[in-house]
Amino acid sequence: METNDNWIFYLRLKKNLPEDYLSMDQHFKTYGRSLIPIGLKALLEATKNKRTIHLLVIIKSYQDYRYYVRRVRKIMKYLMRTQRVHLYVASSFSLANDPLVIKKNYYSFVKLPVRMDRFCEFVSTSIEVRESNLLHWPGGVRPRLSLVG
């Protein structure tokens, strides 16, 4: 187990971190995870090694929403389609409109307002389920029958 297996990246939509960042980090530490702030350029650098990372985005204001739509949305769709990012979004705006991304289970959405301890618990349990392969089918692949005729 590597040291960055318990990292959850927090996408900064502004230059400064929000006030509730430290409390969220403390909630994640109770589950054995660390919350790491990251900018958009650093996120692109972190995803270059083809390893899937967990990314948390919280959109509280209309300015955050506009920044997300203008600069971040297309990049996130690409990263989710290439299976590099598991995206967890908490917002009062509806953001999911791509059925391919939703179908692959790389996108989780929680509507605001929500208590931070419950949101942190949801994200932590989702990560544990994904990493423990509980969703993986234990059987083999069914054979295909080719019809000759």
Question: Tens digit of pLDDT for each residue in 86-122?
Answer: 999 999 887 766 676 677 788 888 998 999 999 999 9
Enter the pTM of the model. 0.82
- Do the domain assignments include residue 137? no
Q: What is residue 59's three-state secondary structure? A: strand
Domain count, the chain: 1
Q: Residue 2 has what pLDDT? A: 47
- Do the domain assignments include residue 141? no
- Do the domain assignments include residue 30? yes
- Do the domain assignments include residue 124? yes
- Do the domain assignments include residue 145? no
Question: Tens digit of pLDDT for each residue in 24-54?
Answer: 999 999 999 999 999 999 999 999 987 889 9
- Do the domain assignments include residue 58? yes
Strand partners, 108: 88
- Do the domain assignments include residue 142? no
Helix intervals (H) in the chain: 21-30, 40-46, 62-67, 73-81, 99-103, 116-131
CATH value at residue 67? 3.40.50.2300
The distance of Cα 92 from the centroid of its chain, to the nearest Å, equals 17
Return mean pLDDT, the chain.
86
Supply the range of the domain harboring residue 110.
Answer: 3-131
